[in-house]
Structures are given as C-alpha cells and as structure tokens.
Amino acid sequence: MTDLVIKAGDGNRIAFEQLIDCYQGDIHRMIYYRVRDRMDAEDLTQDVFVRAYRNIARIREPHKFRSWLFTIAVNRVNDYLRKKRVRSIFKSSDEDPDVQPVTTDLQDPPEALEQVLKEDFWRHIGRIATKLSKMEREVFMLRFLDNLNIDEIAQILKKSESTVKTHLYRALAKFKKEKGLRQFLQEDLT
C-alpha cells in the first residue's frame, strides 16, 4: 500500500483510484454508522476522497495512510453532524426533510424481518451509546464498527494509546452493565 500512496502523492491517478478501491467500503461504512443516511454517507465518502486527493502529496508518513484517511472521515462526519445540529435548532422536527419514515417491503418477508432486526439492534446500540461520553463513543465505534486497532485510533484522534485504551475500557464497562442489550442479544441468539 505504501507504494500506491507514494505514487498517488506524485500525481499518479491510477494509484489513487486503487487506493479508493481498497478503502472506499471501509470509509463509507464508518460514515454510514455515524450519519445513518445512505445518501449523506455517499456524499461524505466522496468528499473524503476528494479531500484526500487534494492533500495526498502532503502526507509525510505514507505507511499511515489508512489512519490519515480515517482522520479526514472523522472530521467530515463531525462537521456534518455539527451543521445538522445547528440546522435542527431552526427547524421543528415536523418540518425536517432529513427525517424519513422507516419502511419495510412486505413483499419480501425475509428481508423485511432482517431489516427490522437490524433497526432494533441499532436502536439498542444508539440508546446505550447516548450514555457514553463523546470520546468513549468515538473510540468504541472506531474499534468495533470500523475494526481499527488502538494505534490507528490514537493517530486518528490525536490521543495517546493509553488514553484510547482508557476510553475503550470505560465504554465496554458501560455496555456490559446494560441489561437491555444483554437480553436483546440473548433473544437474538435463541
């Protein structure tokens, strides 16, 4: 990968396209988990890669490209959520065009059931995540939803590894205490 990053930094578009192919799924998934809107996630993912393309020549450590890319994505998501909060102050929830009702396709029951289960799972996770501090939530999501290691998370958040471990430990302790999630997971497994 480092060779592709170096080539892309030197202006090789094909190398950059190969980097996009390698990381687009991970970045999109990471963004979608946070914004929960497919169209916005696609737009933000595209924006992340545009910003990466514009700045790839400045990357000092090509071997850390993945964490650099995730840093861009985390910052874009934070900007998006901040703007969305500001917009919501000026709108009532009835007028919010971003809020779309959840619908399921009743003509395909297996997929409909799977969708309902996913929504129920994310509702439980979202409810528990509100009990986490912002840093605990971000570390937890980067670790378990985005499959990043402690070193990468520390680079992305510009924190020490011990700080990341502390926040992760606290988040896990809060998740373990949550009876509702344990019951939900036990019901789902039986």
CATH number of the domain enclosing 89: 1.10.1740.10
Overall domain count for the chain: 2
**Of 62, 78, 98, which one is at a domain's C-terminal end?**
98
Return the pLDDT at 114: 61
**Of 98, 118, 133, which one is at a domain's C-terminal end?**
98
Return the pLDDT at 119: 67
Model confidence pLDDT, tens digit, residues 30-88: 999 888 889 999 999 999 999 999 999 999 999 999 999 999 999 999 889 888 877 77
Pair 87, 3 in one domain: yes
How far, in Å, CA of 138 to CA of 79, rounded? 14
Write out the H or E segment, with its range, that includes residue 170. helix 161-177
Give me the CATH number covering residue 119: 1.10.10.10
Pair 73, 115 in one domain: no
pTM of the model: 0.66
> How many other CB atoms sit within 10 Å of the CB of residue 78?
13
Query: E strands, the chain, where?
Result: none
111-129: average pLDDT:
65
129-142: average pLDDT:
86
DSSP 37-71: -HHHHHHHHHHHHHHHHHHGGG-S-GGGHHHHHHH
Name, in order, each residue with C-beta under 8 angstroms of 140's C-beta and a sequence gap of 6 or more: 129, 132, 167, 168, 171, 172, 175
